[in-house]
């Protein structure tokens, strides 16, 4: 291997990439842009759900009941209606996602000791959303009921409120969320988006960079020159590798300083994993570029190959462990999953090399494997 | 009587058998099921310039790529520098000694890199030592006059400059064998000549051997030896004189009226009959002048020929003759007179009056005026970027002019673009055909677009199929047609609504000589019988000879105008006669002649073309000077000017007059 030739290829590639405005944008603007856009857009928290009420009782107790919903950060009160048909209209327009109907004689019946039924109408269009919403409603409703009961017990048995509460709720539940105390989806999403941005941008860049030469015919300069396959492949990939490493730093900074996600783990593990992952992602790009002839084909195939498994099987949206068995097997066939593990582990769980070495090992395996296949596929004397 | 025997060039080069650098035997290349090259033999000797000549798709590129070891092949053998190129490992061994310039003008260069960075990249890839690189770079940049553009990004270079940069990059490591695939395609004649002289100098200086392909038949004379390619086979190989000797004959040009009757009579005996404006051009299988004349006169009968001239046959004529010998090609069907398109004979079809078009501060077309009569074939010549396409677009009503006026088929093009479109036909370089449709479907589609009713549609269909010689192809997919047939189909589609004026923008790029001749035959008949006015642009100078009138565009202006004959006469009056000198040391002779003040002297293989003001005196002066320097003059004779000579002479004169213009245009 001759370092001068590697440098010649790498320098040329670097200059071309930096001077071509489209490539430059793709290299340095696209990954942070994705991060910010998806970081905001892919928030799965259910908050500020618009709702309306139909209060047929109009008592102080019914108002007290409804007030608990209005106060909650999960709900946004949009007003009261006086006719059931209005609820249908508002739900249909998606002006509200939930409606609460308090029946007539709500306070009267409660005071009389009988039970009442409050009707909640939920927009079930997004089942996951509706489920979460139902959970909120149940929780608020239960809190209200318990308070009523506590008050009743305190009043009738002459207990202090503390004691009364113990009666009402003999087993109390204490929940602590680990790693992400406030259960913010941003915290779990943004680190994984580092993986997503790298997984799409660097194969794309690499594939287009190589296919561009095939398309114009400048690849014949390489074919006909004395530069070896290894020299060319290394020289060609170095700039894209450097660009991707710069992006890792930029994306890390955005995650920590812009989205405020804490980084608790080991820098070494994160850095090593990023390095290996970029070797994988550029390797995927290289592989694609060797199989297609036009930049258009490279673009489409890279997006399909990089996007679909990354979104579905990497743990970006759904944890791999809750996928079906078949999907889990597929997830293990792509490097994205291992890197997602490392990224989340380093950001949120504060893990280090000692726990994550298997992931790193897997990434290294992919990096080597992809290189070997690419080396085998690349020929300086093609058939056509 | 004049004989056309040339001294054998073998004696000049005197090659030894051991000098063989490339030996190709029984070479076969297939792309899946398509056979691209079918059994080709070739031998290239040290120090020669070997040419591969043939139309697009004839297998030249495949062979060249296989020789430089960047393409596998299916049959036969290739030996380069004594190494059998049959594996990637073997191919790597020969690569240090080879420089390869792939096809496509500037496509193998890196647009974002500057001229110097491009050269550096190739040099570093080839491990050229820094001191050698600096020295070679300086010399090559000076030689190609690219010195002042050292820092300009390659994407901002003109076609001719890209081509020269490509050459520098391919030769920066001073290979023993240079393989250049169509280095001159898409470049104007002036740049092409420049390129050839630089190349010849480089090759000679370093004792390089070169294998070069071209689609221009008129470049054949540049080679020491050559092979004619056609359909993946070699039609003929050898030195130009040997190839000429395969089909001995000469070219007779004369005038006879009515032209179409004369053509019909001549065709009863001769297969190569063309019309060049008002002239007829016939290939006759005899080199005897008086015999040729009597044969022609006998055939023409009561049509008395005038301005009779007999010349040596060009290599293109030989190529066509060889092709015709090999294949029993079906005779071209006669174009039937198109009753629908007979218009008044003397009307003006196109009248351009001071047309101007600006793009920002750049004036693409600058006060252009010309007239084209009905039934006239008018050729628009000029380098890329001279403003030809802009002009055509304005006359078509696609682009509005900044100033001036134009009448096309009697309609002011600014006023009524709709009515213009009914009267004009337009055929672009890219042939706007639908490749997934059959021939018939394409014709019917275009007929539908122009709103023909059912009856006239089927009439037109019949006419187009007969006119363009498409019978038998009606239900073939357009994609599967040979280029020449596809081009005739495009012409048919442009004629579907019986237009009075036809615009053709470089219609013959990539079509083989026989296809081009067939195409021109149709055009001539359309003009003569159908009385259609035809405005055509082409970069094949040999084709321009077919036009009745020509206009040469340069930097947006028309700088010369007239019939081909008149244009040649004008140049002969100013520049002098063209004399062809064959010598034993062409490089040395060229240097001397340029020093002695014979400007415009150009090297063609082993012959020199010299402009002489006073043929007798200058000829003697040149020969004496050469003999005095130990150059043996083998033969000297006058040669008729070609339109390419005219083009180059005109443009060079303009460039000398305003040296800054070209550089600005290139910027």
Chain B neighbors of A384, CB-CB under 8 A: 31, 71
Chain A neighbors of B75, CB-CB under 8 A: none
Alpha helices in B33-176 (DSSP H): 60-67, 88-94, 115-125, 130-143, 159-171
Q: What is the mean pLDDT of residues A107-125?
A: 88
Q: CB-based contact (8 Å) between A165 and chain B?
A: no
Can you give the pLDDT at residue B166?
A: 93
Are the C-beta atoms of residues B338 and B498 closer than 8 Å to each other? yes
From the list B502, B492, B531, B485, the residue with the least C-alpha distance to B347 is: B531
Token pair recorded at residue B166? 């490509």
Which fold does the domain B566-666 belong to in CATH?
A: Alpha-Beta Plaits (3.30.70)
Q: CB-based contact (8 Å) between A170 and chain B?
A: no
Q: What ranges do the domains of chain A cover?
A: 3-42+184-377, 49-168
Can you give the pLDDT at residue B400?
A: 84
Compute the distance between CA of residue B631 and CA of residue B623 in angstroms, rounded to an integer: 9
Are the C-beta atoms of residues B212 and B50 closer than 8 Å to each other? yes
C-alpha distance from B224 to closest chain A C-alpha (Å): 25
N residues, chain A: 384
Can you give the pLDDT at residue B510?
A: 67
Q: What is the DSSP string of B379-443?
A: EEE--TTSSHHHHHHHHHTSS--SEEEEEETTEETTT-HHHHHHHEEEE-TT----TTSBHHHHH
Q: Where are the beta strands (DSSP E) in B270-361?
A: 273-276, 279-284, 306-312, 348-359
Chain A neighbors of B129, CB-CB under 8 A: none
Compute the distance between CA of residue A346 and CA of residue A261 in angstroms, rounded to an integer: 11
Complex ipTM value:
0.78
- Specify the range with the lowest mean pLDDT, choosing from A152-166, A335-349, B37-51, B444-458: A152-166
Instruction: Give the nearest chain A residue to B98 (CA atoms).
Output: A224
Percent above pLDDT 90 for chain A: 48
The highest-level CATH class for domain B339-562 is: alpha beta
Token pair recorded at residue A228? 């070896």
Model confidence at A11, pLDDT cuts 50, 70, 90, reads: very high
Model confidence at B629, pLDDT cuts 50, 70, 90, reads: confident
Can you give the pLDDT at residue B115?
A: 95
Model confidence at B327, pLDDT cuts 50, 70, 90, reads: low
Q: What ranges do the domains of chain B cover?
A: 18-238, 248-312, 339-562, 566-666
Asked if residue B448 has pLDDT above 60, the reply is yes
Compute the distance between CA of residue B553 and CA of residue A72 in angstroms, rounded to an integer: 79
Q: CB-based contact (8 Å) between A16 and chain B?
A: yes
Q: CB-based contact (8 Å) between B303 and chain A?
A: no
Q: What is the mean pLDDT of residues B220-242?
A: 87
C-alpha distance from B477 to closest chain A C-alpha (Å): 24
Shared fold status for B339-562 and B566-666? no
Chain B neighbors of A215, CB-CB under 8 A: none
Q: Where are the beta strands (DSSP E) in B206-331?
A: 209-214, 225-230, 233-238, 250-255, 273-276, 279-284, 306-312
- The model's pTM is 0.79
Establish, for the pair of chains A and B, how many residue pairs have beta carbons separated by less than 8 Å: 94
Asked if residue B340 has pLDDT above 50, the reply is no
Least CB–CB distance from A379: residue in B88, B121, B169: B88
Compute the distance between CA of residue A11 and CA of residue B117 in angstroms, rounded to an integer: 10
- Specify the range with the lowest mean pLDDT, choosing from A62-66, B201-205, B439-443: B201-205
Q: Which residue has the higher pLDDT, B232 or B6?
A: B232
Q: Where are the beta strands (DSSP E) in B249-336?
A: 250-255, 273-276, 279-284, 306-312
Instruction: Give the nearest chain A residue to B125 (CA atoms).
Output: A5
Model confidence at B12, pLDDT cuts 50, 70, 90, reads: very low
CA A17 to chain centre: 29
Cβ separation of A384 and B65 shorter than 8 Å?
Answer: no
Classify strands B557-562 and B549-554 as parallel, antiparallel or unpaired. Answer: antiparallel
In this predicted model, what pLDDT tens digit does every residue of B462-472 receive, in sequence order?
A: 888 888 888 88
Can you give the pLDDT at residue B657?
A: 75
Chain A neighbors of B122, CB-CB under 8 A: 221, 225
Asked if residue A27 has pLDDT above 70, the reply is yes
Q: What is the mean pLDDT of residues A219-234?
A: 93
In this predicted model, what pLDDT tens digit does every residue of A138-174 receive, in sequence order?
A: 999 998 988 888 888 888 887 787 888 887 788 878 8
At residue B218, the 3 state secondary structure works out as helix
Asked if residue B30 has pLDDT above 70, the reply is yes
Cβ separation of A380 and B92 shorter than 8 Å?
Answer: yes
Q: What is the DSSP string of B388-403?
A: HHHHHHHHHTSS--SE
Q: Mutate which of B34, B108, B111 to disrupt the A interface (most A C-beta within 10 Å)?
A: B108
Model confidence at A47, pLDDT cuts 50, 70, 90, reads: confident
Q: What is the mean pLDDT of residues B79-103?
A: 93
Least CB–CB distance from B126: residue in A218, A225, A384: A225
Which fold does the domain A49-168 belong to in CATH?
A: abc type-2 transporter like fold (3.40.1710)
| Mean pLDDT of the residues in chain A | 89
Instruction: Give the nearest chain A residue to B92 (CA atoms).
Output: A226
Asked if residue B4 has pLDDT above 60, the reply is no
Chain B neighbors of A6, CB-CB under 8 A: none
Q: Which CATH superfamily is domain B18-238 in?
A: P-loop containing nucleotide triphosphate hydrolases (3.40.50.300)
Q: What is the mean pLDDT of residues B55-59?
A: 80
In this predicted model, what pLDDT tens digit does every residue of B408-427 receive, in sequence order?
A: 887 777 766 666 777 888 88
Compute the distance between CA of residue A205 and CA of residue A182 in angstroms, rounded to an integer: 37
C-alpha distance from B442 to closest chain A C-alpha (Å): 28
| Mean pLDDT of the residues in chain B | 83
Q: Mutate which of B36, B89, B110, B180 to disrupt the A interface (most A C-beta within 10 Å)?
A: B110
Cβ separation of A12 and B117 shorter than 8 Å?
Answer: yes
Chain B neighbors of A11, CB-CB under 8 A: 121
Can you give the pLDDT at residue A9?
A: 94
Cβ separation of B124 and A216 shorter than 8 Å?
Answer: no
Q: Which residue has the higher pLDDT, B451 or A362?
A: A362
Asked if residue B655 has pLDDT above 80, the reply is no
Cβ separation of B88 and A216 shorter than 8 Å?
Answer: no
Token pair recorded at residue B517? 């001749």
In this predicted model, what pLDDT tens digit does every residue of B143-185 receive, in sequence order?
A: 888 888 999 999 888 778 888 899 999 999 999 999 999 888 7
Least CB–CB distance from A221: residue in B92, B104, B122: B122
Compute the distance between CA of residue A96 and CA of residue B160 in angstroms, rounded to an integer: 68
Can you give the pLDDT at residue B1?
A: 39
Asked if residue B394 has pLDDT above 80, the reply is yes
Cβ separation of A383 and B71 shorter than 8 Å?
Answer: yes
Q: Mutate which of B109, B124, B130, B170 to disrupt the A interface (most A C-beta within 10 Å)?
A: B124
Can you give the pLDDT at residue B662?
A: 45
Least CB–CB distance from B91: residue in A7, A220, A381: A381
Can you give the pLDDT at residue B346?
A: 61
The highest-level CATH class for domain B248-312 is: alpha beta
In this predicted model, what pLDDT tens digit does every residue of A176-213 receive, in sequence order?
A: 888 777 767 788 888 999 999 999 899 999 999 999 99
Cβ separation of B107 and A217 shorter than 8 Å?
Answer: yes
Q: Which residue has the higher pLDDT, A233 or B347?
A: A233
Q: CB-based contact (8 Å) between A223 and chain B?
A: yes
Can you give the pLDDT at residue B174?
A: 92
Compute the distance between CA of residue B638 and CA of residue B626 in angstroms, rounded to an integer: 17
Asked if residue B10 has pLDDT above 60, the reply is no
In this predicted model, what pLDDT tens digit does every residue of B481-533 receive, in sequence order?
A: 877 788 888 888 888 888 889 999 888 776 777 788 888 888 888 888 888 89
């Amino acid at each position: 291997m001759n370092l001068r030739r590697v440098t010649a290829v790498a320098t040329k590639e670097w200059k071309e990439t930096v001077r071509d405005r489209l490539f430059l944008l793709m290299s340095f603007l696209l990954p942070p842009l994705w991060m910010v856009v998806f970081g905001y857009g892919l928030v799965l928290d259910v908050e500020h759900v618009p709702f309306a009420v139909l209060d047929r009782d109009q008592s102080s107790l019914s108002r007290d009941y409804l007030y608990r919903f209005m106060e909650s950060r999960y709900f946004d009160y949009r007003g009261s209606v006086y006719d059931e048909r209005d609820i249908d209209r508002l739900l249909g327009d998606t002006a509200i996602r939930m409606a609460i109907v308090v029946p007539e004689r709500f306070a009267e019946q409660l005071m009389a000791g009988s039970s009442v039924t409050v009707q909640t109408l939920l927009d079930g269009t997004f089942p996951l959303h509706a489920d979460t919403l139902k959970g909120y409603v149940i929780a608020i409703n239960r809190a209200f009921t318990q308070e009523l009961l506590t008050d009743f017990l305190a009043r009738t048995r002459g207990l202090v409120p503390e004691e009364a509460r113990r009666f009402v709720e003999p087993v109390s539940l204490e929940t602590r969320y680990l790693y992400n105390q406030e259960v913010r989806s941003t915290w779990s999403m943004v680190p994984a988006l580092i993986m997503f941005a790298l997984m799409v941008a660097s194969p794309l860049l690499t594939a287009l960079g190589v296919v561009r030469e095939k398309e114009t015919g400048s690849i014949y300069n390489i074919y006909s020159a004395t530069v070896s396959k290894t020299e060319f492949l290394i020289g060609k990939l170095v700039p894209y590798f450097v660009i991707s490493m710069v992006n890792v730093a930029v994306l890390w900074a955005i995650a920590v300083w812009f989205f405020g996600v804490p980084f608790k783990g080991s820098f070494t593990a994160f850095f090593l994993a990023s390095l290996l992952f970029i070797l994988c992602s550029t390797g995927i790009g290289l592989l694609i570029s060797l199989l297609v002839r036009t930049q258009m084909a490279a673009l489409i195939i890279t997006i399909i190959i990089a996007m679909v498994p990354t979104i579905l099987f990497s743990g970006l949206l759904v944890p791999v462990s809750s996928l079906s068995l078949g999907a889990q097997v597929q997830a293990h066939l792509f490097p994205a999953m291992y890197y997602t593990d490392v990224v989340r582990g380093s950001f949120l769980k504060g893990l280090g090399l000692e726990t994550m070495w298997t992931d790193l090992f897997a990434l290294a395996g992919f990096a080597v494997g992809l290189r070997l296949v690419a080396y085998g596929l690349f020929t300086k004397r093609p058939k056509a | 009587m004049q004989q056309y025997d040339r001294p054998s060039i073998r004696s000049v080069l005197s090659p030894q058998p051991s000098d063989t650098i490339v030996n190709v035997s029984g070479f076969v290349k297939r792309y899946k099921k398509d056979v691209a090259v079918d059994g080709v033999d070739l031998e290239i000797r040290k120090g020669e310039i070997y040419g591969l000549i043939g139309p697009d798709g004839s297998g030249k590129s495949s062979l060249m790529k296989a020789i430089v070891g960047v393409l596998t092949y299916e049959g036969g053998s290739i030996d380069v520098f004594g190494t059998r190129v049959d594996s990637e490992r073997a191919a790597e061994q020969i690569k240090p000694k080879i420089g390869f310039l792939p096809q496509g003008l500037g496509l193998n260069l890196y647009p974002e890199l500057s001229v110097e960075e491009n050269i550096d990249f190739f040099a570093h890839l080839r491990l050229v030592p820094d001191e050698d690189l600096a020295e070679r770079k300086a010399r090559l940049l000076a030689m190609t006059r690219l010195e002042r553009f050292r820092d300009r990004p390659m994407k901002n270079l003109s076609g001719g400059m890209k081509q020269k940069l490509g050459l520098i990059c391919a030769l920066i490591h001073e290979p023993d064998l240079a393989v250049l695939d169509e280095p001159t395609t898409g470049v104007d004649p002036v740049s092409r000549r420049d390129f050839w002289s630089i190349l010849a100098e480089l090759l000679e200086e370093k004792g390089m051997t070169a294998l070069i392909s071209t689609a221009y038949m008129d470049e054949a004379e540049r080679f020491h030896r050559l092979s004619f390619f056609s359909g993946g086979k070699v039609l003929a190989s050898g030195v130009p004189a040997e190839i000429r000797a395969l089909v001995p004959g000469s070219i007779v040009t004369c005038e006879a009226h009515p032209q179409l009757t004369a053509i019909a009579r001549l065709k009863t005996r001769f297969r190569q009959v063309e019309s060049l404006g008002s002239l007829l051009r016939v290939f006759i299988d005899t080199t005897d002048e008086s015999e040729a004349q009597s044969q022609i006169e006998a055939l023409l009968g009561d049509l008395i020929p005038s301005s009779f001239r007999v010349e040596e046959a060009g290599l293109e004529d030989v190529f066509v003759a060889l092709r015709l010998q090999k294949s029993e090609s079906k005779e071209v069907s006669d174009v039937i007179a198109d009753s629908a398109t007979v218009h008044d004979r003397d009307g003006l079809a196109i009248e351009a009056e001071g047309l101007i078009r600006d793009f920002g501060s750049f004036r693409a077309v600058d006060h252009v005026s010309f007239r084209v009569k009905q039934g006239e074939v008018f050729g628009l010549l000029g380098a890329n970027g001279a403003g030809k396409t802009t002009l055509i677009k304005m006359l078509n009503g696609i682009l509005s002019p900044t100033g001036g006026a134009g009448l096309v088929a009697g309609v002011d093009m600014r006023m009524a673009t709709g009515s213009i479109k009914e009267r004009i036909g337009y055929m672009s370089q890219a042939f706007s055909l639908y490749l997934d449709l059959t021939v018939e479907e394409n014709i019917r589609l275009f007929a539908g677009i122009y709103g023909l009713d059912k009856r006239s549609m089927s009439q037109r269909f019949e006419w187009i199929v007969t006119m363009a010689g498409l019978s038998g192809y009606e239900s073939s997919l357009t994609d599967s047609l040979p280029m020449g047939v596809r081009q005739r189909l495009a012409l048919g589609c442009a004629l579907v609504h019986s237009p009075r004026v036809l615009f053709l923008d470089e219609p013959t790029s990539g079509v083989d000589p026989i296809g081009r001749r067939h195409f021109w035959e149709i055009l001539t008949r359309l003009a003569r019988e159908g009385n259609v006015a035809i405005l055509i642009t082409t970069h094949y100078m040999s084709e321009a000879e077919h036009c009745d009138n020509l206009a040469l565009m340069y930097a947006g202006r028309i700088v010369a105008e007239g019939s081909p004959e008149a244009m040649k006469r004008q140049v002969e009056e100013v520049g002098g006669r063209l004399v062809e000198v064959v010598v034993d040391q062409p490089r040395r002779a060229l240097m001397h002649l340029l020093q002695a003040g014979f400007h415009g002297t150009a090297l063609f293989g082993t012959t020199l073309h010299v402009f002489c003001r006073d043929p007798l005196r200058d000829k003697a002066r040149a020969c004496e000077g050469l003999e005095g320097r130990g150059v043996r003059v083998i033969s000297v004779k006058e040669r008729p000017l070609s339109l390419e000579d005219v083009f180059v002479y005109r443009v060079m004169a303009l460039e000398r007059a305003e040296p800054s213009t070209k550089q600005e245009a290139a910027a």
